[in-house]
Amino acid sequence: MDRLRQGLAARPVHEVRGQHGVAGLPRRPLPGLQGQALHPPDDHDFIVIADRETGERTTIKTVKKPQTGIIRNWSKDGATILLSIGHKRGDTWTYPGFMLVDVATKRVRRVDVSDPDVRGSSWGFDGDETGTVNVHGDEDNLSLRFFDAQGRAVRSQANIGTLAADTTQDLFSPSGDAFVTNCPDGTYNDHCVWDAGTGERLRTFYSDCDEVLGFYDEEHLFCWENDNGANDEVQVVDFKGKLVRKLMEVPDSLDLDPVFTRNPAHGS
């Protein structure tokens, strides 16, 4: 579903916006968010980091057009923003690498990846947020490839099935120790939880979820469930497939894309 991004938790204090995405970050001290905004030349894409408490906005140029910087994730500590480098030719997008933005210094480090296998989809953080991941191969049974922060391939895991939300953006558990997919040869109702280090399949279960959105905590996922009631629902599901908590109920006519913001101080 292409749905307007809408936070499930408290409104984030810091936000990053660009021509190709928006992401929020919960309240935590972040040095360097104040300062004089930059005004990049028209031939560059850019992002804007906004401090919602002070109103300060900092503009940071990313890549030169026709390439674009597509916002993917904040790191959990708030220190780094991951962007995919995107290039559209006709109706086809390719993703030749990624960028890491140091929030404190406003510096952008571009990483071009030479691996031609992974240029067909956008980039996400790995579980430790020290590198990145991307997928390649059979679209019905993908392989997940891990890269270090310099863009060097570290390892691959074959036959993971398909991406639960069709994106590498929210694959990993809060600890980074596990990731979730739609199981190989399964449907969107069949969920596989994998060990991020060894590739071992830890859990396999079925649920009423129509689209898994990510991990709620180490023992639960959260997902769209669209068929059980009159409205679409965002539900928390345990690893036995039981829906245990309704987070949001949305009329089918309203187009939303929920984003769960975890508060480390209070748990989920």
Quick: pLDDT tens for 127-158. 999 999 999 999 899 999 999 999 999 999 99
CA distances from 83 to 73, 97, 100, 114, 204 (A): 7, 9, 7, 17, 31
How far apart, in whole angstroms, are the C-alpha atoms of residue 30 and residue 107?
Answer: 15
Q: Are the beta carbons of 160 and 185 closer than 8 angstroms?
A: no
Instruction: Provide the CA 260 distance to its chain's centre, in angstroms.
Output: 11
What's the confidence (pLDDT) of residue 112?
97
Q: Is the pLDDT of residue 28 over 50?
A: no
The reported pLDDT for the residue numbered 255 is: 84
pLDDT at 242 over 60: yes
Query: What CA–CA distance (Å, rounded) separates 178 from 155?
Result: 15
The confidence score (pLDDT) of residue 17 equals 54
> Could you give the C-alpha distances from 217 to 1, 98, 252, in angstroms and in order?
23, 27, 27
pLDDT of 15? 55
The average pLDDT across 254-265 equals 74
Q: Model confidence at 30, in pLDDT bands (50, 70, 90)?
A: very low
pLDDT of 220 above 90: yes
Q: Does the pTM of the predicted model rise above 0.85?
A: no
Q: What sign does the CA torsion over 155, 143, 175, 126 have?
A: positive
Residue 86 is encoded by which pair of tokens?
């995107």
CA distances from 213 to 157, 225, 246 (A): 21, 11, 14
How much is the pLDDT for 200? 96
- What's the distance, Cα to Cα, between the start and end of the chain in Å? 24
Average pLDDT, integer, range 202-224? 95
Higher pLDDT, 256 or 127: 127
The answer to whether residue 267 scores a pLDDT higher than 70 is no
Pairwise CA distance, residues 222 & 225, whole Å: 9
- Cα gap 31→29, rounded to integer Å: 6
Mean pLDDT of the chain: 84
φ, ψ of residue 58 to 5 degrees: the values are -125, 125
Q: For the ranges 55-59, 159-163, 185-189, which has the lowest average pLDDT?
A: 55-59
Q: Give residue 169's pLDDT.
A: 84
Region 44-63: mean pLDDT is 89
